[in-house]
Structure 1
Amino acid sequence: MIPWTYQSSGSSSDSGQDSNFQYYQPNPSLILNSQTQCIATINSPNAYTSSMVLSGKFLFTGSSDNQICLWRRNLFSTELGHESSPVCNMGVPGKGVVKCLVVSTDKIFSAHQDHKIRVWRIDMDERENGKFTHLATLPKLSDRAMKFLVPKNHVEIRRHKKATWVHHVDSVSSLALSNDESLLYSVSWDKTIKIWRTHDFRCLESISKAHDDAINAVAISLDGYVYTGSADKRIKVWRKDSEEMKHYEVSILEGHNYGINALALSTDECQLYSGDSEGAIVVWQRVNDGDLVVAGALHGHSKSILCLAVANDLVCSGSADKTVKVWKPFEGLNSCLVTLEGHNGPVKCLAVANDQYQSSDSVSSCLIYSGGLDFEIKVWQVLVPNV
């Protein structure tokens, strides 16, 4: 396995690399022996897995047939992988894909292709069998009714058609929770960002035309910065004004030549990773004044980056090229440690198990969960040398 080292690029090449970028290029003189194995494969005959998130001992998955499932992670083993069934599952009202899932202390939020956000509670019995309870669909009927009665709350969504500003009018593509879990942020292909209060599910704010094209991803730092990535090739940084209690645009990050599909913050939040439709992952480094600047780009995928996930010092990327790549900092730079091959379709979603990242003197181990358009969920055990 050949890692990638940081190297300045010269002029633009035939591959379309921007001369303003610095790239990680192969360094044959440095080889790390990473070991990996697929320890479980779950087949879904009816739908592909479109979203996933880990929470404690469980894995939540959303699918293209509007199902949300809860899996007990200890059932994913070589022996049980093909026979495991979810602890519980829920067929969601409406049609379309479950685009994103986030879990708070006591709730699960799901984003849907039918323009809605749904809120759930999981009730577990003493045998750890679960049951989904539907708490709300956002925007709530009461919220819609209050806004509907006041004309100024109506916005034009297309020619000769209006809706209240609490509505998303296209697929809700991504969700994120504030650090204290009091606010839920949703972004949509309708180019808007909406902020919801989680205790009563009220829409507090809508940023209309936040981008010039569909918004595909959102990430939030512990200190309150909100990052949104769009098909308009830009990342925007937002911050809440403590006096007006409204969000304002802090800066625009420009460095991609193609639309942005995924965002992820490093564990220490000093780097932001953004993946685009050409297969590049741009690494943004936070400098002393808090601004983010381009530190480099990770190249190795041959098609679109569809998802990113971070755990401790590992960065995982899933792509339309049917592979998952695992990246690890080496001498301050990110090296491609291993490529996970086994999916027969694009890799749509990823999750990395933080709590199973266990280190010895020479080797670290973690579990990576991947969902593909091949209707399979795979679980990978990756052993990484400590360098």
Structure 2
Amino acid sequence: MGLVPFPLPCHTKESTEESLTSSSTTSGLHSESSTSSSLSSQPSLPSVPSPPLSKSNQLEVMRSPSVHHHCIATLQSQSYICTLALSGNFLYSGSSDGQITAWSSILSHPSNPQYNKVVATPSTVKSLVVVGSGDDRNKLLFSAHQDHKIRVWKINTTDTHEKLKCIATLPTLKDRATSFFFSKNYVQIRRHKKCTWVHHVDTVSALAISNDGSFLYSVSWDRTLKIWRTSDFKCLESVGNAHDDAINAVTLSRDGTFVYTGAADKKIKVWTWKKDKSMSVRLVGTLEKHKSAVNALAFNTDGSVLYSGACDRSILVWERDGGEDGGWGDMVVVGALRGHTKAVLCLSVVADLVCSGSADYSVRVWRRLSSGIVGDYRNRSYCCLAVLEGHRRPVKCLTAAVDNTDSDYSGDSYSVYSGSLDCYIKVWQIRVPFS
């Protein structure tokens, strides 16, 4: 039960040269396998053929039911859309010019969102996560940036607007000062350069937040995984050389016990850590089936299935395989979702839908079918409900939500939000009839 080895690299010499030539004029997408010893990884967007699965590992992809889908709103930005995050009735977008924008009425009136320019930052925004919900007075927005920093914003909410105030930059001054005076706190980042372990030294590519909002996880093209406490923004742990190349994605198991990282070294690694005085992080598994850089990771809603998207154009479906750790560190591929013609750049899950965005300019919406019987092979059946086309550049980010405003429809209704390098955010309505 495994993949047939596929010898092609994720990019050719010509595509690499083209990427390096254009890197000065774009903010980059996901980091591909680097060819130099420098920690600074060059972004690129090539794709290779999907890795073939053995017949025993093939998912059953069913014919899609009569699904209605259309674009109900298009939101324009001044630059590339790099990341999206939903919180309550607001959609946050981060762009390559460093601007963070909040769009209000996104859930109550999805076809008529209101533009609300919030704040400009000095560097490309790579990832956004929100801690807190609704009218929570302690609601925070964390933004990851290309300038190696994480910024913390306090959110002040009104009925139609949200204002952001920057209250910290990670690592904090206290963290930096504490680490500065002790040689044991320095790590070698280049032949003649050292830095304290609390610093990221390359683009912070992705963020994830624990379910209770207590811990923030950050990964970077510097190949490190860091864990931060959200109450005081202290860096609790840093895993150096967590991967052999730039890390592009991070996600958590449902209970927050395990951390999954995906990187340009084609690997997904599984980590666990003790939330005690030792704060020790331990590698419990390495998942190796992709044949090119891993760009995106997402769990299904009950946390039983992991989806991974990569430059090999495939979305691999992973399930637990038992073991002492409950199988989280020894997951196995049960199949692949194929249809994209270029690299898969982003994933988002809502209810039983899996949404994937690609460098082929499209968004695909997949549905996992269930027989209602635990362990039934039919639970591994999927259908492609829709192909959403309309973007003119690669789709870089996605988020989705159940559409509770569509009361006139008797089936399930969803809103899917896609951000692209064409500088547009599109809002899609997906209507799925009851089966």
Identify whether the pair has TM-score above 0.5, normalized to the shorter chain. Answer: yes
1:112 equivalent among 136, 140, 145:
145
Tell me: CA distance 1:12–1:229, structure 2 relative to 1, closer, same or farther (3 Å): closer
Tell me: CA distance 1:379–1:249, structure 2 relative to 1, closer, same or farther (3 Å): same
Per the alignment, residue 352 of structure 2 pairs with: 313
Conserved 8 A contact 2:368-2:383: yes
How far residue 16 of structure 1 moved from its aligned partner, in angstroms, is 5.4
Conserved 8 A contact 2:343-2:360: yes
1:273 matches 2:307 = yes
Aligned counterparts, 1:130-209, within 5 A: 130-209=162-241
Tell me: CA distance 1:360–1:231, structure 2 relative to 1, closer, same or farther (3 Å): farther
- Percent identical: 49
Query: Which one has the bigger strand percentage?
Result: 1
How far residue 169 of structure 1 moved from its aligned partner, in angstroms, is 0.3
Per the alignment, residue 246 of structure 1 pairs with: 280
Could you tell me which amino acid in structure 2 is paired with residue 263 of structure 1?
Answer: L
- Secondary structure of 2:396's counterpart equals strand
**Could you tell me how far apart the structure 2 residues matched to 1:167 and 1:227 are?**
21
**Could you tell me how far apart the structure 1 residues matched to 2:234 and 2:148 are?**
16
Conserved 8 A contact 1:192-1:209: yes
RMSD: 2.5
**Could you tell me how far apart the structure 1 residues matched to 2:3 and 2:185 are?**
50
**Could you tell me how far apart the structure 2 residues matched to 1:357 and 1:232 are?**
43
1:353 matches 2:424 = no
**Could you tell me how far apart the structure 2 residues matched to 1:132 and 1:343 are?**
29
**Could you tell me how far apart the structure 2 residues matched to 1:272 and 1:337 are?**
20
How far residue 286 of structure 1 moved from its aligned partner, in angstroms, is 2.0
Conserved 8 A contact 2:60-2:382: no
Could you tell me which amino acid in structure 2 is paired with residue 302 of structure 1?
Answer: T
Tell me: CA distance 1:31–1:13, structure 2 relative to 1, closer, same or farther (3 Å): farther
Conserved 8 A contact 2:362-2:391: yes
- Secondary structure of 2:312's counterpart equals coil
- Secondary structure of 1:191's counterpart equals coil
1:23 equivalent among 51, 58, 68:
58
2:382 equivalent among 319, 334, 345:
334
Per the alignment, residue 5 of structure 1 pairs with: none
Structure 1: gaps spanning 5 or more residues: 1-7
How far residue 128 of structure 1 moved from its aligned partner, in angstroms, is 3.2
Conserved 8 A contact 1:356-1:367: no
Per the alignment, residue 263 of structure 1 pairs with: 297
How far residue 181 of structure 1 moved from its aligned partner, in angstroms, is 1.2
Per the alignment, residue 28 of structure 2 pairs with: none
How far residue 341 of structure 1 moved from its aligned partner, in angstroms, is 0.4
Per the alignment, residue 85 of structure 1 pairs with: 115
Per the alignment, residue 225 of structure 1 pairs with: 258
- Secondary structure of 2:291's counterpart equals coil
Could you tell me which amino acid in structure 2 is paired with residue 104 of structure 1?
Answer: V
Aligned counterparts, 1:42-57, within 5 A: 42-44=75-77, 46-57=78-89
Tell me: CA distance 1:171–1:109, structure 2 relative to 1, closer, same or farther (3 Å): same
The answer to which of 65-74 and 320-329 deviates more is 65-74
**Could you tell me how far apart the structure 1 residues matched to 2:107 and 2:364 are?**
24
Per the alignment, residue 156 of structure 2 pairs with: 123
**Could you tell me how far apart the structure 2 residues matched to 1:229 and 1:167 are?**
20
Could you tell me which amino acid in structure 2 is paired with residue 285 of structure 1?
Answer: E
**Could you tell me how far apart the structure 1 residues matched to 2:53 and 2:403 are?**
40
The answer to which of 186-195 and 358-367 deviates more is 358-367
Per the alignment, residue 303 of structure 1 pairs with: 342
Give TM-score, length-normalised by structure 1. 0.90
Conserved 8 A contact 2:74-2:427: yes
**Could you tell me how far apart the structure 1 residues matched to 2:51 and 2:58 are?**
9
**Could you tell me how far apart the structure 2 residues matched to 1:135 and 1:283 are?**
39
Give the paired residue count.
371
Conserved 8 A contact 1:175-1:184: yes
**Could you tell me how far apart the structure 2 residues matched to 1:100 and 1:198 are?**
16
